[in-house]
Amino acid sequence: MKDVKETLLERTSVRRYEREAIPNEALEFIFRAIQNTPTSYNGQQFSVIDIDDQALKEELYAITGQKQLKTCNRLLIFCSDYNKICRLAEKKGIDMPDFTNTMDGVMIGVIDAALAMMSAVVAAQAAGLGSNCIGYLRTAAPAKIAEILKLPKGVFVVCGLALGVPREQPDLKPKQPLSLVFHRNEYRQDTDELVAEMERYDEVVSEYNRTRAGGTSTNDWVAHIIDYYKHAMGYEILAYLKDQGYEIRK
């Protein structure tokens, strides 16, 4: 098992995997780490669809175009889930408020599922495995994926996580410097300096993208990210949530 410092500071996304299976002990560790995730109110408003069926992985690859889905050994799909708590409340005759129809209700499910995914990322890294978050499992064809996974009302996909024995060791990506990440006691007011630091970071990461091992790109970092945002303007997540039983009102 890697130590905490190496686990957290040397993690990268891994998109190529060996064919070999993940050892049971490592998988059990990842599952227990997910189970022990901190959650809002300890309500555990999340579930994980654990996929080891190769045909299903390939079907999800065909929908998303993400090759990692068919080559990974295990695919975990993290969902926001109010179905479990609602069913129990119903059984016990406890009135359920319209909580899933509030933005905070939605955010809580997303936060719980995202933290559970991060528990899995860290546990996998510590166990010497590679992982890659797959947001396309939420965005590519939400209704189709909900149907394939038989998601009941109150459950929607937040993100997938591909896991496997690593077949590559990608370079660490340069991240924003601590001065941009942390704002001491209040949000920084020196906007000109903040923008200047962002420009310097943009140069660093764009240079990294031009020269990194594996796939290089000539895109500017910020232009690249904003292209993703433009593409994401086409996603119909509100309609997806509505299909899954969420009528967001406040």
Ligand X SMILES: Cc1cc2nc3c(=O)[nH]c(=O)nc-3n(C[C@H](O)[C@H](O)[C@H](O)COP(=O)(O)O)c2cc1C
In the complex, the residues that contact ligand X under the rule CB under 6 A are 12-13, 15, 66, 132-136, 159, 173
Residues pairing with 162 in the sheet:
75, 132
Q: Which is nearer to ligand X, 85 or 139 (CB)?
A: 139
- Sheet containing strand 46-51, strands side by side: 46-51, 74-81, 155-164, 130-134
Sign of CA dihedral 60, 65, 71, 74: negative
| Neighbouring C-beta atoms of residue 87, cutoff 10 Å | 13
> What is the rounded CA–CA span in Å between residue 115 and residue 125?
15
| Residue, CB closest to ligand X | 135
Q: Which is nearer to ligand X, 10 or 193 (CB)?
A: 10
Q: Minimum Å distance from CB 201 to ligand X?
A: 14
> What is the rounded CA–CA span in Å between residue 230 and residue 232?
5
Q: Among residues 138, 121, 115, which one has the least CA distance to residue 13?
A: 121
Q: Which is nearer to ligand X, 86 or 136 (CB)?
A: 136
Q: Which is nearer to ligand X, 94 or 237 (CB)?
A: 237
Q: Minimum Å distance from CB 114 to ligand X?
A: 7
Cα angle: 5, vertex 28, 137; to 5 degrees: 85
Q: Which is nearer to ligand X, 96 or 140 (CB)?
A: 140
Q: Minimum Å distance from CB 227 to ligand X?
A: 14
Q: Minimum Å distance from CB 168 to ligand X?
A: 11
Q: Minimum Å distance from CB 134 to ligand X?
A: 4
